[in-house]
């Protein structure tokens, strides 16, 4: 039996999402579902730093999207139609941003990873004016409908959150994607310790996984580890397995040799098996290695390390996202960044043999997903691309430090000169944030104004590219709504209230 969620504002939320997907003109809201606007919900940065917010997020306000299709533009105001494989940072509300991306990315995204507001009731970057399940569900519904439309037929969405909205999110995902397209739930072990917890130590989050079409999705893969071992062969990291060919299966007596030597293949397995092994020797999949005192040879399978895979385990241990920021000179700037290793594992699990895939994160926060995509590409020399969306909200974490950002006002960022942080002087990156004072040599600044979250995102991409992917470029764009070709509104949520 399928359980269907019901909440006040559901009809309006689904109607909005379907209208945006279909591209139909919005009807004036005079009655019917328009009588139940959901509480205001603005999007934000990832995880606990991104909270339910004020500003543009009401369904009543979001309905204006139907009056004119949003589009993307460069910093100089020129409309920009991105290439689907262009690395993008889209600055603005993610609802119009996702709508604008339909023009170029519909059915092209392989992986969606999102870490949306957790609806915890805490006020950080955003004040929580709703803090109820209905508000959160109405906020997420049109965004998930748009994400589904952007996904490839074999696309997968990872929805990362804690237990506050986990059950509600799971039922909402079943309704949007279909319960048959639910691929299960992964556990992210994010912490240890916590001895002061009132009841028990909460050291994990949930990652719910859905497919657009589960029948088209392959296995979730990760790098293969023991019992095989890695060796450098002809200058290349190779996974070496020395016991792929055995004389038999089952228990072996201690000290007995279980491997079937090449010279004994015919006697034990016959001519057919010898021909099969010889073919793999010719292709380079197998090699022969001297083994034992009798002058015989073991049949050894060698696999390039980046292609050696095993099934992903459902519990992923990845601690300390702050540790990923320290080498970039951004330590302490962002309170709860997700670990690169976690997002890399999720991205790689569905792009292991798809190195040109597009990865979308529309709650980008500090930009962990961009760095994770770079790390995945570094592993196998792939060319995966990322599309991030983040609002230009002030970074107001009490734990945050200011950061001097590089790249001037140029919206096409990259490694090299444009991606270096200014040293010894304040600088700006993108629009709105000012740096002041000198740096400490690691890229952080003293008592400067905090940058916006989106500026931090851009700066992290630049610095991560310098470290992991020299030469990588990304294009920074803004979201604009148009009516009849005239700019009528930019999707910049109002500043959070105190």
| Strand spans (E) along 130-284 | 151-161, 182-189, 204-211, 221-223, 229-233, 236-241
Of the candidates 245, 450, 437, 219, the one whose C-alpha atom is nearest the C-alpha of residue 330 is 450
Could you write out the DSSP letters of every residue in 352-371?
TT-TT-EEEESS-TTTHHHH
Enter the tokens of residue 30.
């005079």
Ramachandran class of 342: left when φ > 0, alpha when ψ lies in -120 to 50, beta otherwise: alpha
pLDDT of residue 68: 62
CA-angle at 179, arms to 173 and 181, nearest 5°: 85
pLDDT of residue 253: 55
pLDDT of residue 220: 95
Ramachandran class of 155: left when φ > 0, alpha when ψ lies in -120 to 50, beta otherwise: beta
Number of residues that make up the chain = 498
Is the alpha carbon torsion for 353, 357, 363, 369 positive or negative?
positive
Which single residue is written with the structure tokens 């980008």?
Answer: 364
Averaged pLDDT in 10-residue chunks for the chain of 498 residues: 82 95 54 34 35 36 54 91 97 96 97 82 40 88 98 98 90 96 95 72 92 96 74 85 79 70 94 96 94 92 80 90 88 86 96 95 96 94 96 69 44 34 27 30 37 90 94 95 42 32
pLDDT of residue 405: 52
pLDDT of residue 202: 81
Local structure of 316: helix, strand or coil: strand
pLDDT of residue 331: 83
pLDDT of residue 10: 95
Q: What backbone torsions phi and psi does residue 136 show, to the nearest 5 degrees? A: -65, -40
pLDDT of residue 435: 30
């Amino acid at each position: 039996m399928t359980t269907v969620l019901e909440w006040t504002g559901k009809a309006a939320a689904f109607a909005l999402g379907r209208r945006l997907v279909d591209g139909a003109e919005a009807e004036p809201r005079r009655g019917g579902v328009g009588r139940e606007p959901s509480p205001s919900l603005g999007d934000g940065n990832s995880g606990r730093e991104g909270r339910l917010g004020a500003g543009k997020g009401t369904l009543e306000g979001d309905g204006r999207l139907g009056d004119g299709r949003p589009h993307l533009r460069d910093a100089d105001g020129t409309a920009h139609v991105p290439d689907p494989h262009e690395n993008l940072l889209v600055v603005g509300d993610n609802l119009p941003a996702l709508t604008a991306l339909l023009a170029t990315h519909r059915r092209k995204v392989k992986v969606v990873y999102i870490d949306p507001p957790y609806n915890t009731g805490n006020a950080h970057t955003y004040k929580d004016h709703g803090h109820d399940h209905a508000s959160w569900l109405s906020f997420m519904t049109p965004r998930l409908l748009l994400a589904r439309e952007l996904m490839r037929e074999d696309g997968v969405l990872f929805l990362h959150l804690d237990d506050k909205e986990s059950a509600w999110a799971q039922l909402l995902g079943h309704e949007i994607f279909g319960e048959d397209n639910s691929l299960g739930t992964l556990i992210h072990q994010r912490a240890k310790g916590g001895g002061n917890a009132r009841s028990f130590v909460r050291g994990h989050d949930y990652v719910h996984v859905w497919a657009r079409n589960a029948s088209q999705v392959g296995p979730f893969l990760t790098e293969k580890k023991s019992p095989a071992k890695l060796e450098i062969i002809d200058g290349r990291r190779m996974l070496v397995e020395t016991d792929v060919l055995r004389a038999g299966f089952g228990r072996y007596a201690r000290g007995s040799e279980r491997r079937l030597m090449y010279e004994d293949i015919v006697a034990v397995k016959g001519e057919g098996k010898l021909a099969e092994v010889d073919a793999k020797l010719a292709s380079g999949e197998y090699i022969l290695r001297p083994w034992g005192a009798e002058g015989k040879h073991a049949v050894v399978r060698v696999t390039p390390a980046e292609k050696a895979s095993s099934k992903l385990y459902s519990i992923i241990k990845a601690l300390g996202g702050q540790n990923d920021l320290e080498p970039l000179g951004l330590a302490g700037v962002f309170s709860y960044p997700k670990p690169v290793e976690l997002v890399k594992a999720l991205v790689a699990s569905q792009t292991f043999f798809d190195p040109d895939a597009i990865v979308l994160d529309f709650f980008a926060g500090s930009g962990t997903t961009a760095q994770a995509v770079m790390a995945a590409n570094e592993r196998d020399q792939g060319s995966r691309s990322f599309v991030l969306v983040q609002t230009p909200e002030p970074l107001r974490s009490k734990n945050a430090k200011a950061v001097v950002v590089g790249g001037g006002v140029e919206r096409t960022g990259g490694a090299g000169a444009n991606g270096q942080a200014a040293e010894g002087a304040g600088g700006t990156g993108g629009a709105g944030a000012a740096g002041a004072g000198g740096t400490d040599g690691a890229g952080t600044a003293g008592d400067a104004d905090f940058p916006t979250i989106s500026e931090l995102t851009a700066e992290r991409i630049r610095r991560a590219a310098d470290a992991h992917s020299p030469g990588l470029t990304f294009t920074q764009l803004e979201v604009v709504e148009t009516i009849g070709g005239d700019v009528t509104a930019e999707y910049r949520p109002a500043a959070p209230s105190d």
